[in-house]
Amino acid sequence: MPTEVTPHPAGRGWEYAPAPESRDIVSIAPQYGLFIDGEFAPAADGAQLGTVNPATEEPLAMVARGGPADVDRAVAAARAAFEDVWGPMPGAERAKYLYRIARILLERARQFAVLETLDNGKPIRESRDVDVPLAAAHFFYYAGWADKLEYAGFGPAPRPLGVAAQVIPWNFPLLMAAWKLAPALAAGNTCVLKPAETTPLTALLLAQVCQQAELPPGVVNILTGAAETGAALVAHPAVNKIAFTGSTEVGKQIAAAAAGTGKRLTLELGGKAANIVFDDAPAEQAVEGIVSGIFFNQGQVCCAGSRLLVQESVAEEIAERLCRRLATLRLGDPMDKNTDIGAINSRQQLDKIEELAAAGQAEGAHRWSPPCELPGRGYWFAPTVFTGVSMSHRIAREEIFGPVLSVLTFRTPAEAAAKANNTPYGLSAGVWTEKGSRILWMAQQLRAGVVWANTYNRFDPASPFGGYRESGFGREGGRHGLAGYLDG
Ligand code: NDP
């Protein structure tokens, strides 16, 4: 592996014309209430917090900051809806509501995509082509299960658990809401969902979709707020199930708080995935997979392929191709349809990425980014590749959650598997090779919940997703995704 990598001298020979998506399709209210029992209302104590567009730092809206009294009210509404309406409702009837939500999501797809990009900073291309269609697909998929639960392999008469407290992060705000709500509702549970502080807006638009679909009041409640709101929600004694996606640190706190309470718990936490490229892999395809593995959503993805393990004999070739490809990525206005790399979600996250990248340099790895101009306002970080990384470096061990790739090399498949597994996490991995037998062998060796072969970051509602060890437990997606919401 070269310690020096130089960008392709040609760079981009020409420029795209601006292709901005219009934001007029969505109207953002100056303030939003909590969505409890089918209606929007301010927090009991009137507290609010602001959300900004991370690409411009422009304030977008104020949202209610739920406190303990609001948590009580939301959980009570969910409990009443569970006992009186949703729990007793036949699965075939519940399915109709889920199908309706899915269809409305598709009808309003452009609104959701624009709002997601404004609030999160991700490129419109991604919110339009990935987040929103996949969110709708989850509702469609689980709608199909609602009347077939007795055939799902959880016993002849599986029962819903009751009230689900669901806490989600800021990297895929709408999609994570769909991952949580769709299986819970299909199984007959009611939900109180707490979106992340920095990305509450699409969850609130989803609340409007629930109204539009005439979902019975209290079946879905959206409780915006900060970390304390999430902590009060998961600690509430009338909650039966906790589903959390976010950092390993907070996941551990929630696991400790839930211990001995009888609440069911699933955790989807961090990762430090290895994307492993063998010498027989089709190089162009592998480079595309490496790029989407770590630069999709600015690398703010729990299953991001943040450690590239490349076989020594092709390391130089892959590095050169990668650098050439990175020089063609377009960083900038997330609302531009040609943008590949958008903004980092928050100042706090940007600080964390900068701190870890600086640690990589201080520990002796070689840092490289393609020439790219960062906008003057907003939270931005250039795509970055570190070569000369060793397993002991912080950038090889800690989840950076940003557009930063650490490159390591290996000689044999056994060494690749050992290096890939040398992490406290176990969420995902990628293998690039033409040999089917090697794919199967590697998949057996890798301690990861998901192993992609000759592809990366591929999601489907029918396919389970989740981790081992410090990446959490439980699965979302597929038949397995129902297990966390049913008693056999
Ligand atoms: P957190 O784990 O802090 O946040 C995830 C969600 O949990 C948010 O809704 C948050 O609310 C809420 N929350 C925070 N503290 C508590 C608590 N004590 N009890 C209950 N809920 C709580 O992630 P951050 O946003 O702070 O990101 C920090 C790091 O976590 C990232 O740098 C990244 O490494 C990792 N991360 C991993 C994700 C994954 O998918 N695996 C997703 C997001 C982050 P609020 O936003 O209001 O604080």
User: Using the 8-state DSSP alphabet, how is residue 447 labeled?
Assistant: -
Number of H helices, E strands in the chain: 16, 20
Cβ pair 461, 134 in contact under 8 A: yes
Helix (H, G, I), strand (E, B) or coil at 15: coil
In sequence order, what E strands does 356-457 have? 366-368, 384-387, 404-410, 428-432, 450-453
In a mutational test of the pocket of ligand 1, which residue from 70, 120, 176, 247 has the highest number of ligand atoms less than 8 Å from its CB? 247
- Provide the 10 A C-beta neighbour count for residue 393: 20
Could you tell me which of 292, 277, 285 has the C-alpha nearest to residue 326? 292
Task: Tell me the sheet residues that pair with 220.
Answer: 191
Q: Is the shortest distance between the CB of 165 and ligand 1 below 6 Å?
A: no
Q: Is the shortest distance between the CB of 426 and ligand 1 below 6 Å?
A: no
Instruction: Please report, to the nearest 10 degrees, the dihedral formed by the alpha carbons of residues 398, 171, 318, 466 taken in order.
Output: 70
In a mutational test of the pocket of ligand 1, which residue from 48, 176, 197, 250 has the highest number of ligand atoms less than 8 Å from its CB? 250
Q: Is the shortest distance between the CB of 398 and ligand 1 below 6 Å?
A: no
Written as one letter, the residue type at 70 is D
Could you tell me which of 78, 269, 64, 67 has the C-alpha nearest to residue 165? 78
Question: Whose C-alpha lies nearest to ligand 1, atom 38?
Answer: 246
Task: Tell me the sheet residues that pair with 63.
Answer: 32, 49
Helix (H, G, I), strand (E, B) or coil at 407: strand
Q: Region 98-121: what's the mean pLDDT? A: 98
Rg (CA), the chain: 22
Distance CA 248, CA 426 (A): 12
Q: Is the shortest distance between the CB of 476 and ligand 1 below 6 Å?
A: no
Max distance between CA atoms of the chain, in angstroms, equals 68
Q: Is the shortest distance between the CB of 48 and ligand 1 below 6 Å?
A: no
Distance CA 119, CA 114 (A): 9
With cut-offs at 50, 70 and 90, classify the pLDDT of residue 233.
very high
With cut-offs at 50, 70 and 90, classify the pLDDT of residue 154.
very high
Tell me, what's the pLDDT at 366? Answer: 97
Tell me, what's the pLDDT at 14? Answer: 72
Cβ pair 136, 111 in contact under 8 A: no
Helix (H, G, I), strand (E, B) or coil at 125: helix
Question: Whose C-alpha lies nearest to ligand 1, atom 18?
Answer: 231
Q: Region 393-418: what's the mean pLDDT? A: 97
Place of tokens 């958008």: 342
User: How much is the pTM?
Assistant: 0.96
Tokens encoding 441: 């062998």
Q: Is the shortest distance between the CB of 170 and ligand 1 below 6 Å?
A: yes
DSSP string over 235-292: H-TT--EEEEES-HHHHHHHHHHHTTS--EEEEE-----EEEE-TTS-HHHHHHHHHH
Q: Which residues contact 249 (CB under 8 A, 6 or more apart)?
A: none
Q: Give the length of the chain.
A: 488
Task: Tell me the sheet residues that pair with 444.
Answer: none
Give 272-308 pLDDT, tens digit per residue. Answer: 999 999 999 999 999 999 999 999 999 999 999 999 9
pLDDT over threshold 60, residue 2:
no
Average model confidence (pLDDT) across the chain: 96
Report the separation in Å between the CA atom of 450 and the middle of ligand 1, taken as the mean of its atom positions. 22
Question: Whose C-alpha lies nearest to ligand 1, atom 32?
Answer: 401
With cut-offs at 50, 70 and 90, classify the pLDDT of residue 12.
low
Give 199-223 pLDDT, tens digit per residue. Answer: 999 999 999 999 999 999 999 999 9
Tell me, what's the pLDDT at 1? Answer: 41
The catalytic site residues sit at 268, 302
Distance CA 397, CA 457 (A): 20
User: Using the 8-state DSSP alphabet, how is residue 476 labeled?
Assistant: B
